[in-house]
Each structure stands twice: as structure tokens, then as C-alpha cells.
Amino acid sequence: MHSVRFTAETSSDGVVERDFTVGEVPGVLWSPVSGSGSVSGRAPLVLLGHGGGQDKRAPGMVGRARRLVTGCGFTVAAVDAPGHGGRPRTAADERQIAALRQAMAAGEPVGPIVVRYNAELAERAVPEWRATLDALQELPEIGAGGPVGYFGLTMGTAIGVPLTAADPRITAAVFGVFWHDSLTEAARQITVPVEFALQWDDEHIPRESGLALFDAFASKEKTLHANAGTHMALPRFEADSAVRFFARHLGRAGTSPA
């Protein structure tokens, strides 16, 4: 098994940000300045999955990470998905991306291409995430057995749903803004609390497809947040809602969201 290898460290506004690799996979770990390295074990950890074409340090990722660290005292990890953030692309990646660009240029539906491409990426990304989690739990400030959350929308959902179905260490998850087609079977295996976001006027994802994916989760506790607006117009307050969701489900006594 690979260990976490730290390659850089910066700190600002109470948050320590450390670049790391686990094998070939590059990641970032955000943690509270006060808690970093000084608390032993069982600190809540949230895994952040980025969207398609983005990477571990996209502005939305950093914003969510900082909210979770400063609001709840959690540790947060993100990795670059296969073919993303400067990681090498396979010939299959290149073909899918070319097909996607062609469809967008021609004004044709992108859904079938995104669904297929992201399902392929998930097959590679899920084992990477699990190996990363193995390695992170070897760190003294995280430890094994602590609560783990997963937070990822769009491609982060395409990867996160099969990851959460496969890995019993993940005990709460925020997903959203994806088609049901490739994910229904994995969603039916998920029983942990889920918050799921969709855009009511999504120009790419049919409303019924998003509702069907929410419906598929076997979780006793699940909440759908559907907002008026198009695919990219998810309101910023949904990030705060996700932070509160993790505070409820992963939080230690005394922690509360900002």
C-alpha cells in the first residue's frame, strides 16, 4: 500500500493546506491550524470530488474545503480525478473529450457522452479514492475509524456514488446535478444519509432523471434540494447547507458550522 507523501505546505486564515501524493495520485489536504498534527485520531474527514474539466484546486473546491475546516474543524481531502488537473489522459479520454466538444459545438445533447465518459472515469477513480483513504487514515491526525463524508457534484457525483456504495467508511454524502442512468444501481446500495441537489431548469439533465437518482438512494435520511435555475446556476447557499449537513452527521460534540 502507498503512503501519503507531503510535497508542500502553506497556511492562511487558520487553514493549513498540504499538497500530497498517494502513488501517482496528487491531492490536497486542508486542516485547521490548531488541530493539524496535534490531535490524535478520529477527526472527521470529508472527501471532496471535483467536477468534469476541473481539478482539486478549483475555486469552488477551495471554498468548500475552507468552509468545512473553519466552520466545523474538519479535515478535508481532494484528489485530481484520472485525466484531470494535469494527470495524463488515455486515448479513450481523448476520444470522449473530443466527442464532448463536438457535441457542444454542434448544439447536440451532451448527456449520453458525459454519462458514458464519467462512468469510465469512475471505474478508475474509485480504487484511487479508496487507496487514498487507506493512506490518509494512516496519518496520526486522521486515524482509522473516524467519520468520513463525501461531497461531490456533477462528475464528483458520478465518481462519488459508486465510491460511497463500495466503501463502508463513508457515513454521509452530498451529491447532485447528474443523470440517473449509470448510477441507479449503485445508489440503491447506499443507506447512509444523503443530501442531493438538482437544478429545476437544468438544460442538460432532464428533471425526471435527477428525481429518479434521488429516489434510488436507499437511505432512510435523504434530502433533495431542487433550485430554480439552469445547470450551472446552483445557488452558493447550497455549499453552506452541505457544511451544516456534515456538521449534523459527522460532527463531534461542540463543533458547529459557521
Site of interaction with its own copies (CB under 8 A): 200, 211, 214-215, 219-228, 235, 237, 241, 244, 248
Choice between 142 and 213, CB closer to its own copies: 213
Asked if 119 and 180 count as a contact pair (C-beta separation under 8 A), the reply is no
C-beta of 251: minimal distance to its own copies in Å?
A: 13
Choice between 56 and 225, CB closer to its own copies: 225
Choice between 2 and 248, CB closer to its own copies: 248
C-beta of 202: minimal distance to its own copies in Å?
A: 13
C-beta of 228: minimal distance to its own copies in Å?
A: 5
Choice between 33 and 212, CB closer to its own copies: 212
C-beta of 230: minimal distance to its own copies in Å?
A: 12
First to last CA, the chain: 37
Choice between 33 and 226, CB closer to its own copies: 226
Asked if 20 and 4 count as a contact pair (C-beta separation under 8 A), the reply is yes
Nearest one of 171, 184, 165, 135 to 25, comparing CA atoms: 135
C-beta of 234: minimal distance to its own copies in Å?
A: 11
What is the rounded distance in angstroms from the CA atom of residue 200 to the CA atom of residue 206?
9
C-beta of 155: minimal distance to its own copies in Å?
A: 24
Q: Which residues pair with 21 in a beta bridge?
A: 5, 26
Nearest one of 176, 156, 184, 166 to 77, comparing CA atoms: 156
Choice between 19 and 238, CB closer to its own copies: 238
Give the per-residue SS3 of 34-75.
CCCCCCCCCCCEEEEECCCCCCCCCHHHHHHHHHHHHHHCCE
The torsion angle over the Cα atoms of residues 1, 173, 34 and 71, rounded to 10 degrees, is 160
Give the number of C-alpha atoms closer than 13 A to the C-alpha of residue 21, restricted to the C-beta side: 6
C-beta of 224: minimal distance to its own copies in Å?
A: 4
Choice between 18 and 222, CB closer to its own copies: 222
Q: Which residues pair with 56 in a beta bridge?
A: none
